[in-house]
Structure 1
Amino acid sequence: MMLEMIATFFVAFWLLVGAIFSLVGSIGLLKFNDSMTRLHAPTKVGTVGVGALLVASMIHSYAFGDGWSIHELLIMAFLFVTAPISANFIAKVVIHKKSCETPPPPTKDETWSTLDIPEADREYTKTEKA
């Protein structure tokens, strides 16, 4: 009986944390002006908010007799891998469409994190297209 009561408090805590992060992320998605700042809010909700909700689900399934559940761990692993990658791709699309402020140029190398091709590699790209 004592384990169930303690587990209920932990489940309630993690549900509250997940709900707060989801609420703040939803408000941030609506409140921010451009797409690059809007991108920040849902990625945090996807990792921290949903992660907290999944932790609550894991504690509940263990405390109330279902045993440990591996499904939540797999969902967390999938979210933690895919959320940063999808956010990176969305940010790249926004930058290349030039619908946001262009980031400052790199200080030491002009080809780093851009689509510029170094002079030494330009002859290879011409032969591949032909």
Structure 2
Amino acid sequence: MLQRTQSVYLLLAAANALVLIFVFHLWVTDNGTAVFAKDELPYFAAFLVSGALSLVTIFLYKNRKLQFVLGRLNIILNFFLLGFFVYLSLNLSGETIVSEKGIGMLLPIISIVFLALANKAIKKDEDLVKSVDRLR
């Protein structure tokens, strides 16, 4: 069922991972060029996998346990992506690559919030189904 609350959250997480990476830059180099996720293959692949995982999770509404596990897996992937961004922006010395951080580095945080809300709604549905099964 695509009209469920978690489907909306998962769709927002997928849109965040698949669309907003082309809108917001990750950082600006020291010579003034904006670097988007599509310019760096590992980050682009991680965003694509995150978005695809969110879209796949939407259509697994009949198997809520697998949907919940895939949501957790997607959250872990976004934490790794966020960790890479933090490492890149804090561990480099001087003005080697990153001169100015962009809002694109915060996109994994937005995805994590939407995925956590979706997992909360999936857990709520699972608890509701379990309570109805006890009544039978």
Question: Would you call these one fold, judging by a TM-score over 0.5?
Answer: no
TM-score (norm 2): 0.39
Larger RCO, structures 1/2 (Cα 8 Å, 6+ apart): 2
